Chains A and B, each alone.
Chain A
């Protein structure tokens, strides 16, 4: 089986090693004998792109400058992206990608960029450019009824409000706002989060959740993933969780 992934604006939204998440998915699929076909979406591709035909749509994080450049293009794809989401395509959105799926994003200069409005949340950046949530972060998420600590790094000036179903509870770090209890936005087929790092490298079980969702949806019946040798990943998590949660 081959998973079809649409990587949106990879040349503009790749601020914090975000393309690493794509490399990770390809790696974990490949180890199990599946392929990943990753299509790069660049500005102007809207008309020819069939968003619903993909298994996963991915948007990384970008700088304010790039986010403004692509806002109009993204809006022109609004209906197609909404349909893809409603039909169950998995949406993985990091930082800027997370913000742009909401109602709007007001940047530090007070400039309002309309979002796609897929979800009810909205984001406002402090007018003081120095006020940013920066640092390691750990959140407690729940994946298919099982608790899982998700580790990442956050670096955002935008404060996101009105999140109905957050991705997780903040155990260390800031989250959606300064000192927030919650982080990100979650639905069965949506992970929208400020965690980069890249997210999936630090959280192999989250990567597998996404992979197994996509494969099962494609196949029409549950797919059971073969376990991988995650010794290095688990050691890495142990070090970071030890440092951040017991420090």
Chain B
């Protein structure tokens, strides 16, 4: 075995070295080669430190970055995948870049964003200490299959998992993982108190309306967003949880919240963001992170990766947000509405492999609530599909401009001043950032 492991690492190192020499990004390829060559390639690594994994449909990248920052600011030596690369192949590549020739990985903590469907794949080979599960929404149905299939995969893993399980207690799809292994004493739920804009009825397409235990329709006190809210099964009581962490006094104006009686100021101001921080807080509490560090990170840390990222051009402010599924997009539309001034919007929609080829999810976005949006520019490979979608929600078709080319779209958007918002799906985010930066630096005009 030793010899096999040694050669696995050696080949990986050589590959990774060649790619670096060629100036290529070694984010995925070496891992892909190793995992294809040897199914158990991950077993070649020797890891003594605790591993914390973050999974769920939305918010993985942000939460992983936040938890990593908490540990970093506490002086710990960490290894993390801050830019995704969250499949077994990406994680293998990451570990290759950080291990010795004997496969030893030296760090205090590994904090790994992990794709939902890859949780069982990766952590049947690496020993996991803590799993944080954020939410399960419909996402890329053509690639992932039904949400239920995905939940069952993670659920199967949880049946034999005895480590810390940090679960969103307000998502019926996630909380059910707490039932998977009755012998695991380390199940911990996080929850967020009802906030000002919570609704009595379901506002956007949601999943998990039925009790996973007995099939009865779940009863909700309130919905925070999508199917996230305080729920309980009227028949069997599923959903009656005692939270390990509960955020209270959510104030999106300040913005701030309270946890265990202490007020924390935050950099972001959406309910969706608060849920992410709630998960981060639960992890920080579990690992005894100093309150001063928590306060500092919550107040000032930003994940600038197309997640609520700000751009500015001649006094005109643009906020770019990733939205790769209906829930993410609906949250962004709500956020755009919370800005009461007149504004213009850019929507970039792609249908590449990583996005899912199926764009039917855009019909689950509730555009009918648009307020004060004076113009919409659409772009990307499916620019016309999103234009038709917005038009049929009742938005004036004369105010919709289709510019499939991103540079053209950005130029069009900034042909007027004022507040702007941009929404881009998964593979559209980085090209959109690049096009915005090109334009702002003046290269857009040269095209």
List residues of A whose CB falls within 8 A of some B CB. 11-12, 14-20, 23-24, 27, 63-66, 69, 129, 132, 134-136, 153, 155, 196-198, 201, 229, 231-233, 235-236, 239
Instruction: Tell me the smallest distance from the CB of B234 to a CB of chain A, in Å.
Output: 15
Known A66-B210, A153-B142, A232-B400; 17 more pairs at CB < 8 Å:
A14-B205, A16-B141, A17-B363, A20-B364, A69-B215, A129-B149, A135-B142, A135-B357, A153-B359, A155-B358, A197-B359, A198-B363, A232-B402, A233-B388, A235-B402, A236-B388, A239-B384
A sample of 6 inter-chain contacts (CB < 8 A) reads A17-B363, A24-B392, A63-B147, A134-B358, A235-B384, A236-B388
- CB pair A16–B391 under 8 Å, yes or no, is no
Which residue of the partner chain A has the closest CB to B143?
Answer: A134
Does B394 reach chain A (CB closer than 8 Å)? yes
Compute the total of residue contacts between A and B using a CB distance below 8 Å: 86
In the complex, the chain B residue whose C-beta lies closest to that of A234 is B384
Partner of B362, one of A12, A17, A64, A65: A17
Asked whether B361 is an interface residue with its Cβ less than 8 Å from the other chain, the reply is yes
Q: How far is the CA of A66 from the CA of B146 in the complex (A)?
A: 11
Chain A CB within 8 A of B389 CB: yes
* Chain A proximity of B151: nearest CB distance (Å): 10
Closest 6 CB pairs of A and B: A17-B363, A20-B363, A236-B384, A17-B360, A16-B360, A63-B146
Closest chain-B Cβ to A37's Cβ sits at a distance in Å of 18
Distance (Å) between the CB of B272 and the closest chain A CB?
A: 21
- What is the predominant secondary structure among interface residues of chain B facing chain A? helix
A197 CA to B358 CA, complexed, in Å? 7
Chain A contacts for B394, CB-based, 8 A: 27
Chain B: which residue is nearest A30 at the CB level? B394
Is there an interface contact between A153 and B392, defined as CB atoms closer than 8 Å? no
CA distance A178 to B48 in the complex (A): 48
**Complex contacts, A27 vs chain B, CB 8 Å:** 392, 394
Tell me which residues from 344 to 373 in chain B have a Cβ below 8 Å from any Cβ of chain A: 357-364
CB-CB < 8 A to A20: which residues of B?
360, 363-364, 389, 392
Q: A11-B209, A24-B392, A64-B146 are in contact. Are A198 and B402 (CB under 8 A)?
A: no
Residues of B within 8 A of A66 (CB): 210
B148 touches A65 (CB 8 A): yes
Q: Determine whether the beta carbon of A63 is less than 8 Å from that of B142.
A: no
Asked whether A155 and B148 contact (CB < 8 A) given A196-B360, A229-B397, A236-B384, the answer is: no
Interface residues, chain B, with chain A CB atoms under 8 Å away: 138, 141-142, 145-149, 205, 209-210, 215, 357-364, 384-385, 387-389, 391-394, 397, 400, 402
Q: Are B402 and A15 in contact (CB under 8 A)?
A: no
Contact B360–A23 (Cβ < 8 Å): no
Is A201 touching B141 in the complex (CB atoms < 8 A)? no
- CB-CB under 8 A for A16 and B145, given A69-B210, A232-B397, A239-B384: no
Which residues of chain B are within 8 angstroms of A129 by Cβ–Cβ distance?
Answer: 145, 149
Docked-complex contact B384 and A232, CB < 8 angstroms: yes
Question: Given A14-B205, A24-B392, A155-B141, are A236 and B363 neighbors across the interface (CB < 8 Å)?
Answer: no
Q: Is B392 within 8 A of A23, CB to CB?
A: yes
Residues of A within 8 A of B148 (CB): 63-65
- For residue B35, give the distance in angstroms from its CB to the closest CB of chain A: 19
**Residues in chain A near residue B141, CB distance under 8 A:** 15-16, 155
**Minimal Cβ-Cβ distance residue in B for A155:** B142
Q: How far is the CB of B384 from chain A (nearest CB, A)?
A: 4
Please judge, given known A-B contacts A129-B149, A232-B391, whether A153 and B360 are in contact too, CB under 8 Å: yes
Q: Give the complex CA separation of A129 and B152 in angstroms.
A: 13
B221 to chain A, nearest CB (A): 18
The residue on A at minimum CB distance from B393 is: A23
Chain B residues closer than 8 Å to A201, beta-carbon distance:
363, 385, 388-389, 392
A-chain residues with CB within 8 Å of residue B149 when the two chains form the complex = 129
Neighbouring A residues of B363 by C-beta, 8 Å = 17-20, 23, 198, 201
**A247 CB, min distance to chain B CBs, angstroms:** 13
Measured between beta carbons, the chain B residues less than 8 angstroms from A229 are: 397
Q: Which of B209, B357, B388 has its CB near the most chain A CB atoms (within 10 A)?
A: B388
Task: Give the complex CA separation of A156 and B363 in angstroms.
Answer: 19
Q: Distance (Å) between the CB of A157 and the closest chain B CB? A: 9
Q: Is the CB of B357 within 8 A of A136?
A: yes
Complex: how many Å from CA A232 to CA B361? 19
Q: Determine the distance from Cα of A136 to Cα of B400 in the docked complex, in whole angstroms.
A: 26
Q: How far is the CB of B258 from chain A (nearest CB, A)?
A: 35
| Cβ–Cβ contact B146 & A15, under 8 A | yes
User: In the bound complex, what is the Cα–Cα distance between A18 and B142 (angstroms)?
Assistant: 15
Complex Cα gap A198–B205 (Å): 15
Q: Report the minimum CB–CB distance from A81 to chain B (whole Å).
A: 23
Residue of A nearest to B385 (CB): A236
Which residues of chain A have C-beta atoms less than 8 A from B209's C-beta?
A: 11-12
> Which A residues are in CB contact (< 8 Å) with B392?
20, 23-24, 27, 201
Contact A17 B384 (CB under 8 A): no
Q: Would A153 and B402 count as touching, CB distance under 8 A?
A: no
Please indicate the chain A residues that have their CB under 8 angstroms from the CB of B388 in the complex: 201, 232-233, 236
Alpha-carbon gap, A136 to B215, bound state (A)? 33
User: Would B397 and A17 count as touching, CB distance under 8 A?
Assistant: no
Q: Which residue of B lies closest to A62 (CB)?
A: B146
| Interchain CB contact under 8 A, B358 and A16 | yes
Q: Considering only CB atoms, which chain A residue lies closest to B364 in the complex? A: A17
Measured CA separation A208–B357 after assembly (Å): 27
Query: Once the chains are docked, how many angstroms separate the CA of A64 from the CA of B145?
Result: 11
CA of A232 to CA of B384 in the docked complex: distance in angstroms?
6
| CB-CB nearest in chain B for A136 | B357
**Inter-chain contacts of B215 with A (CB < 8 A):** 69
- Chain B nearest CB: distance from A210 CB in Å? 15
From B142, B145, B361, B393, A17 is in contact (CB under 8 Å) with B361
Contacts of B142 on A, CB cut-off 8 Å?
Answer: 134-135, 153, 155
Complex contacts, B357 vs chain A, CB 8 Å: 134-136, 153
